[in-house]
Amino acid sequence: MPSPTDTIAAPATPTGTSAVALVRVSGPACLELGPAIFRETLEPREATHLPYHDQAGEIVDDVLVTYFAEPRSYTGEHVLEISTHGNPAIIQLVLDDLFKRGCRAADPGEFTRRAFLNGNLDLSQAEAVMDLIHARSARAIAAANQQLRGSLGQHMAKITDELLLGLARVEAYIDFPEEDLPTEDRRIVAELLDSVLRGTKRLLATHRYGDMLRDGIKTVILGEPNAGKSSLMNALLGRDRALVSDQPGTTRDYLEEAVMVGPHWLRLIDTAGLNPDPGEIERQGIAKTFERVAEADLVLLVFDVTRPTPPLPGELRGRLNPEHTRILLNKVDLLERSAAKAVAPEGFKSLEISALTETGLTDLEAEIVAWADALGPTNQNDQIAVNARHADALRRAIEGLESALTHLGANGPTELMASDLRSTLEALGEISGRIDNEEVLDRLFSTFCIGK
């Protein structure tokens, strides 16, 4: 178990040649390390340009050092941030020297873990730090920023307060097991729990959007051989990634590429064509296509507009939901010479495009952004999008609430209700992190980067 009295050090920037690189040091020893290395007193929060002297007195580099005095630092401890020239060999010399002077190499996420343990961040904010580092789109950055400012924590506090009111009413009767909860109290508790349940479910519903922000929008391009799937993939990517050919059946496996569409990022997946009469290898490709469709957030079903509407394989019909499917009537550039034949199935939104001339692609991108945004928060200032860990806690909270409401409805024993509500509180508490379970913290912070 790492001790908070250790002073930890780690590079905060990736290895490689760059203009500058940053070494971070946190812990009580920073107080003496500053004057020892830089040979002068460092004023807190003042970036100072000074030579770095190693223990032997050699100058390692001219650096920019900033000292943060506890508790006004990221970790809440004394911190040194040392910006060196961006050379991995310099960083190594600085780290070796810091280790000789008694510092220890920081574990992944240990700086943020200390910030959490010192009360500078709650757990949902600590996770937001990681989200912010890994965010790949404007929307993901916005959501991470709001969570970092404590939006989820505040939301949880509101819900938890309401729940505490309900629990207090129930607990008042625990000492009188013979007495039922008076009708008036039952009504009040039921209202409180209903409201908490609604709020909890609303939060859980943001998980899908949260996943799309964190992992990208899984977008599967689907259609018959030669419909123009690979051409569409290339057009959206802005480069030739997928093989395009007038011979059907060229894409047998699937291809995945990340692409930015406005403020969102898509994981665009080009698939094998839905050939109604496939050969053996094609058949395997089509099986993979179905797997991708099952995991997809969004399906772009491409029809060649000049050909009759193709039949959909039975396995697909049930899975394609108009809400997350768009029909793309491709090759509209050929319509001057032939009449449109393919039509979108009833109830599905369709767009006319040409992957070749790029007609309609801007509209398609706008449609994708509108679709994704509609799944997100209605109020951009309330950008909550929970992650898998939050969702798990919310599901347990919902179970507890539903069970308490069942007991309440059946006029059951108050102890059972109280116990349900206490486990609900515990589950909700995990989100912003009233966690003293070392294992959970170890698991969570181990996914962080070193130096963060």
Distances (CA, A) of 415 to 182, 183, 318, 420: 15, 17, 46, 9
Q: In the set 17, 18, 245, 411, which binds ligand GDP (CB under 6 A)?
A: 245
DSSP 405: H
Give the distance between the most distant pair of CA atoms in the chain. 85
Q: In the set 83, 330, 383, 414, which binds ligand GDP (CB under 6 A)?
A: 330
> With binding defined as CB under 6 A, does residue 207 bind ligand GDP?
no
**Using CA atoms, how far apart are residues 452 and 249, in angstroms rounded to an integer?**
47
Q: Which of residues 117-156 bind ligand GDP (CB under 6 A)?
A: none
> With binding defined as CB under 6 A, does residue 230 bind ligand GDP?
yes
Of ligand GDP, Mg ion, none, which one does residue 356 interact with (CB within 5 to 8 Å by kind)? ligand GDP
Distances (CA, A) of 305 to 249, 312, 329: 19, 15, 5
> With binding defined as CB under 5 A, does residue 230 bind Mg ion?
yes
**Using CA atoms, how far apart are residues 419 and 428, in angstroms rounded to an integer?**
14
Cis amide linkage into residue 377, ω under 30° from 0? no
Sheet-wide strand order for 255-261: 255-261, 264-270, 217-223, 298-304, 325-330, 349-352
Q: In the set 231, 414, 424, 432, which binds ligand GDP (CB under 6 A)?
A: 231
- Give 60 or 233: the residue with its C-beta nearer to Mg ion: 233
Q: In the set 112, 137, 251, 387, which binds Mg ion (CB under 5 A)?
A: 251
Distances (CA, A) of 80 to 58, 266, 359: 20, 39, 55
Q: In the set 244, 329, 386, 428, which binds ligand GDP (CB under 6 A)?
A: 244
- Give 25 or 269: the residue with its C-beta nearer to Mg ion: 269
- Give 189 or 300: the residue with its C-beta nearer to ligand GDP: 300
Backbone angles phi, psi at 287, to 5 degrees: -60, -40
Site string for ligand GDP, 255-274 (x = CB under 6 A): ------------------x-
> With binding defined as CB under 6 A, does residue 228 bind ligand GDP?
yes
Compute the least distance from the CB of residue 251 to ligand GDP, in Å.
5
Q: Which two tokens stand for residue 100?
A: 């000789």
Q: In the set 189, 212, 328, 355, which binds ligand GDP (CB under 6 A)?
A: 355
**Using CA atoms, how far apart are residues 271 and 301, in angstroms rounded to an integer?**
11
Backbone angles phi, psi at 25, to 5 degrees: -130, 135
Q: In the set 48, 154, 250, 350, which binds ligand GDP (CB under 6 A)?
A: 250
- Give 66 or 271: the residue with its C-beta nearer to ligand GDP: 271
Instruction: Give the residue at shortest CB distance from ligand GDP.
Output: 228
Binding site for Mg ion (CB under 5 A): 229-230, 251
Binding site for ligand GDP (CB under 6 A): 223, 225-231, 244-246, 250-251, 273, 330-331, 333-334, 354-356
